[in-house]
Amino acid sequence: MRLTILGGGGFRVPLVYGALLADRADGRVTQVVLHDVDTDRLKAVTRVLAEQADGVPDAPEVRVTTDVDDALRGADFVFSAIRVGGLEGRVHDEQVALAEGVLGQETVGAGGIAYGLRTVPVAVDIARRVARLAPEAWVINFTNPAGLVTEAMSRHLGDRVIGICDSPVGLGRRIARALGVDPRRAWIDYAGLNHLGWVRGLRVAGRDELPRLLADPRLLGSFEEGRLFGAQWLRSLGAIPNEYLHYYYFHREAVRAHRQAGRTRGAFLRDQQARFYREARDPDTSALAAWNRTRAEREATYMAENREAAGAGEREADDLSGGYEKVALALMRAIARDERTTLILNVRNRGTLSVLDSEAVVEVPCLVDASGAHPVSVDPLPGHATGLVCAVKAVEREVLAAAESGSRETAVKAFALHPLVDSVAVARRLVDGYIAVHPGLAYLR
């Protein structure tokens, strides 16, 4: 079985390869094709993978290419993990927004819109190529903003593209642990959009354990989201929000914390990764050791400003293991081997959340088997969550329309309608500011 990774020189690729190495079952991936536009990054990552594979019998063979069509032909699965504009682009997404006094974040608010506007045209081009060259392949989208990018690709690939995020499963795991239940036995009632979802229940043997958590301040103080949002607010909501909702519920504090941070998350990662790619070129050092060091530091500092702003303390040490690769592998396995499983994924709505149309990509529990990922029916969201989800979906639709038409005014509309952008005048300046720094937005006229 052949897996193609677009963005194959990316920093997370060794996580995926590590998970592939651990998979000994029949029908596992035997060939990995890495595609990237940057050969230096490909070289660095292949050195890491070679060290990972050292001593592992029949490790998946790795091939690299800079020709995207060559990468796609013959693929059974395609992981799309591209970053249009690189981390330098992420820094601009953050800084232009912060300079206007609005949230500068990779996936939420103005920064997420800017990232979406330059990523959608590239993602659509990839989707068209897949439809032509590998129509039987399944595409797993990792690229942020994941819900929006998955929806853009689904217009060309239908339900053959599935978006993934590790945050819902991570949240479910933390809640289960706080309750002292085995996460594998728990049904997580989670619904919303990517980075905009809520856990409304956690059922073990048919019984909802979430009320027990919400009633106990000590338990609520024992895990990250409990401390981040505060026991009182969680009780008011009657649900546990995805940590990205901190940007909505504590918008002002988050903007202040980001402005005070001195260096944005993107700038930290840009510098940190530049160091890794430099170290990985040195023939006298272990590329794998350099990668491990960088990875540990990255995970330990994830969302640090938010936790500090909320006085929420350190991230749990045992939660520093990524989850992306695990979700991706579980999904690929369920499809390839018809191993029926349930995963929280980004798929077309098909009636699941009745306030959204059937083409809207949502993040909900799905039943996965050889025929793909099928959203399971969930209870409707409460009023305020419905409001946020509909507002943000409307923004996503404007982003998709702007990417299709190239209309600058439609891009302005996308920014102006976002709940975290508080003025049309600000939206206009954001569009001007982003076009000035992003070559990938030159198409907007």
- Residue 166, interface with ligand G6P (CB under 6 A)? yes
- According to the binding rule CB under 5 A, does residue 165 interact with Mn ion? yes
Helix (H, G, I), strand (E, B) or coil at 368: strand
Under DSSP, is residue 223 helix (H, G, I), strand (E, B) or coil? coil
Q: Are 102 and 424 in contact (CB under 8 A)?
A: no
According to the binding rule CB under 6 A, does residue 144 interact with ligand G6P?
yes
Q: Which is nearer to Mn ion, 60 or 104 (CB)?
A: 104
Q: What is the DSSP string of 309-363?
A: HTT--PPPGGG-S--HHHHHHHHHHHHHHT--EEEEEEEE-TTSSTTS-TTSEEE
For residue 431, the minimal CB distance to ligand G6P (Å) is 24
Does position 302 interact with ligand G6P (CB under 6 A)? The reply is yes
CA distance 415 to 426: 8
Q: How far is the CB of 397 from ligand G6P (least distance, A)?
A: 21
Minimum distance from residue 293 beta carbon to ligand G6P (Å) = 15
Look-up of token digits 């507002």: 391
Place of tokens 């690189």: 86
Residue nearest to ligand G6P according to CB distances in the complex: 167
Angstrom distance (rounded) from CA 365 to CA 190: 7
Which structure tokens are listed for 275?
């160091």
Among 298, 307, 333, 397, binds ligand G6P (CB under 6 A): 298
Q: Is the dihedral of CA 106, 112, 114, 117 positive or negative?
A: positive
Shortest distance in whole angstroms from residue 430 CB to ligand G6P: 21
User: Minimum CB separation from Mn ion for residue 392, in Å?
Assistant: 14
- 411 is a contact residue toward Mn ion (CB under 5 A): no
Amino acid type, 87: L
210 or 345: whose CB is closer to Mn ion? 345
Q: Does 165 bind ligand G6P (CB under 6 A)?
A: yes
Longest dimension (CA), the chain: 60
Cβ proximity to ligand G6P, 60 vs 116, nearer residue: 116
The answer to whether residue 64 forms part of the interface with ligand G6P (CB under 6 A) is no
Residues 101-130 that bind ligand G6P (CB under 6 A): none
Say whether 365 sits in a helix, a strand or coil.
strand
Q: Find the shortest distance in angstroms from Cβ 243 to ligand G6P.
A: 9
87 or 165: CB nearest Mn ion: 165
Q: Which is nearer to ligand G6P, 144 or 410 (CB)?
A: 144
Given a contact cutoff of 8 angstroms between Cβ atoms, the answer to whether 48 and 288 are in contact is yes
Report the nearest approach of Mn ion to the CB of residue 135 (Å): 28
String of contacts with ligand G6P for each residue 246-275, x by CB under 6 A: -------------------x---x------
Helices (H), 28-108: 39-53, 68-72, 86-99
Residues that bind Mn ion in the complex, under the rule CB under 5 A: 165
User: Using CB under 6 A as the criterion, which residues of the chain lie in contact with ligand G6P when the complex forms?
Assistant: 144, 165-167, 265, 269, 298, 302
